[in-house]
């Protein structure tokens, strides 16, 4: 096998005909692009067979296995993007922090990192410690055509921090918020360390050749907007800036669950594509994001007058607070937002949902409110979703 190092800096693929990238560039895609969060793993019998005797985090460090699992849903469902098979806690594991993923539960840390001493004792992470990740990305790219993209990813510092501080999944984020508000200095120190890990993790994937990246701040929706901006947004912004510096033009996606109230602030951290969960209608999502990006939404369908009320809702100060995004109103691409539960509700219902979604986003594109749309779920595929239902939904999306 070819020996590669995380520094070998493979050049990026040039993919003029990939529908996923066409949509992001604001071109008419050759077909409607779709992929699903959590498409790799869980719902696929061929995944369960491969993983039968390998622990989740061990599988992430086996390049052939990780590449094969990444490719399985692309082969089976004919989706337009592969999401790299890994996990948001992989950089922690690579740095040597004792962490495990418990089936049906999620990431678990034996010794939670919840005070200054533990935060100061966190190790550093060098790209060489992620060599298997580099290799897995290279192997995956070998298995994709030039119309299929590979999305690399990382968890955002807040979401990763919540597992470290709580010691496992939480429904309240109580300890995380206690540290954030009770000892802000330690909080910022932890965010600093995690931001460095995450940038290293993303750069390894970028150097290995991924075609786009997604930053998952899955649990950011637990925070009010004010706390999000003070304690979280600056770090996500730094990560997006580091990606832009490492790979100019590489598409950057941002996503979190229950982030209806945060969509504007999240968009200001600098992504090109905003993932939207199923609770928010896409038209409302576009409006909130465009308001935050500095102007009212241009829409000939809405009010006939009142086009110069910029800043009335505080959007101008949003931009000042967070620094400017590269994007103007109308420039953002949306990703989402079918309800994952409805994927299993039968063909009539999911087809109706798909039709509503694409009618809404086609209209938003036609009226200049968004640049493009990538179909996805509002969160991940639920584990008991039947593979056949996913394949069928993809075919419907490609046909409407
Ligand atoms: O298909 C994909 O999305 C590709 C790979 C991927 C995994 N995790 C594999 C995985 C991605 C992108 C992630 C990201 C991830 N991991 C997030 C952010 C995305 C989101 O869903 O909000 C989060 C919060 C995690 C942490 C994590 N890891 C959770 C909550 C779980 C689920 C626990 C469970 O079993 O319900 C994991 C485990 C995990 N990550 C699995 C997979 C395929 C299941 C492992 C198994 O098969 O036992």
Q: What span, in angstroms and rounded, lies between the C-alpha atoms of 237 and 322?
A: 8
Ligand 1 center to 55 CA (angstroms): 13
Cα of 108 vs centre of ligand 1, distance in Å, is 13
CB neighbours of residue 186 within 10 Å: 19
Ligand 1 proximity of 42 Cβ (cutoff 6 Å): yes
Could you read off the pLDDT tens digit of each residue along the chain, which spans 400 residues?
A: 333 444 445 589 999 999 999 999 999 999 999 999 999 988 899 999 999 999 999 999 999 999 999 999 999 999 999 999 999 999 999 999 999 999 989 999 999 998 999 999 999 999 999 999 999 999 999 999 999 999 999 999 999 999 999 999 999 999 999 999 999 999 999 999 999 999 999 999 999 999 999 999 999 999 999 999 999 999 999 999 999 999 999 999 999 999 999 999 999 999 999 999 999 999 999 999 999 997 433 333 334 444 433 333 333 344 444 544 668 999 999 999 999 999 989 999 999 999 999 999 999 999 999 999 999 999 999 989 999 999 999 999 999 9
- Token pair belonging to 308: 């110069």
Does residue 155 contact residue 217 with C-beta atoms inside 8 Å? yes
What ranges make up the beta strands (E) of 179-332? 212-216, 252-255, 273-276
Cβ of 378 below 6 Å from ligand 1: no
| Cβ contact 289:267 at 8 Å | yes
Tokens of 70: 């990444």
3-state secondary structure of 333: strand
52 phi, psi to nearest 5 deg: -45, -45
Dist. CA 372–CA 217, nearest whole Å: 22
Which residue's alpha carbon is nearest to atom 10 within ligand 1? 87
- Global confidence as pTM: 0.92
Nearest CA, atom 43, ligand 1: 41
Q: What is the dihedral of CA 236, 242, 243, 246, to 10 degrees?
A: 180
43 CA → ligand 1 middle, Å = 12
- Determine the distance separating the centroid of ligand 1 and the alpha carbon of 38, expressed in angstroms: 7
Whole-angstrom Cα distance, residue 84 to residue 208?
A: 12
Q: Is the CB of 332 under 6 A from ligand 1?
A: no
């Amino acid at each position: 096998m070819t020996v590669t190092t995380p520094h070998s800096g493979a050049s990026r693929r040039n993919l003029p005909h990939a529908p996923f990238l066409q949509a992001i560039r604001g071109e008419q895609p050759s077909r409607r692009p779709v992929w699903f969060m959590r498409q790799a793993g869980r719902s696929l019998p061929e995944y369960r067979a491969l993983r039968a005797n390998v622990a989740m985090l061990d599988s992430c460090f086996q390049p052939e296995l990780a590449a094969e699992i990444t490719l399985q849903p692309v082969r089976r469902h004919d989706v337009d993007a592969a999401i790299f098979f890994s996990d948001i806690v992989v950089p922690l594991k690579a740095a040597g922090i004792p962490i495990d993923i418990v089936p049906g539960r999620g990431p678990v840390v034996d010794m939670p990192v919840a005070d200054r001493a533990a935060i100061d004792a966190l190790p550093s992470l060098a790209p060489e410690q992620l060599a298997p990740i580099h290799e897995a990305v290279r192997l995956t790219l070998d298995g994709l055509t030039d119309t299929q993209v590979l999305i690399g990813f990382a968890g955002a510092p807040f979401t990763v921090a919540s597992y470290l501080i709580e010691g496992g999944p939480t429904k309240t984020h109580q300890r995380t918020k206690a540290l954030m508000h009770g000892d802000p200095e330690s909080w910022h120190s932890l965010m600093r360390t995690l931001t460095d890990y995450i940038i290293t993790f993303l750069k390894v994937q970028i150097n290995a050749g991924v075609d786009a990246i997604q930053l998952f701040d899955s649990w950011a929706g637990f925070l009010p907007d004010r706390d999000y901006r003070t304690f979280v947004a600056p770090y996500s912004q730094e990560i997006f800036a580091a990606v832009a510096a490492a790979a100019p033009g590489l598409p950057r996606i941002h996503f979190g669950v229950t982030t209806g109230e945060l969509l504007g602030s999240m968009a200001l951290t600098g992504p090109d594509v905003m993932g939207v969960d199923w609770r928010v209608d896409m038209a409302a999502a576009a409006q909130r994001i465009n308001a935050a990006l500095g102007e009212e939404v241009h829409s000939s369908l809405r009010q006939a007058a009142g086009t110069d009320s910029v800043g009335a809702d505080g959007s101008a100060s949003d931009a000042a607070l967070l620094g400017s995004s590269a994007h103007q109103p109308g420039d953002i691409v949306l990703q989402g937002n079918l309800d994952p539960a409805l994927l299993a509700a039968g063909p009539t219902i999911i087809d109706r949902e798909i039709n509503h979604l694409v009618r809404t986003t086609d209209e938003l594109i036609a009226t200049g409110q968004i640049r493009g749309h990538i179909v996805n779920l509002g969160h991940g595929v639920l584990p008991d979703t039947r593979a056949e239902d996913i394949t069928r939904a993809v075919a419907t999306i490609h046909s409407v």
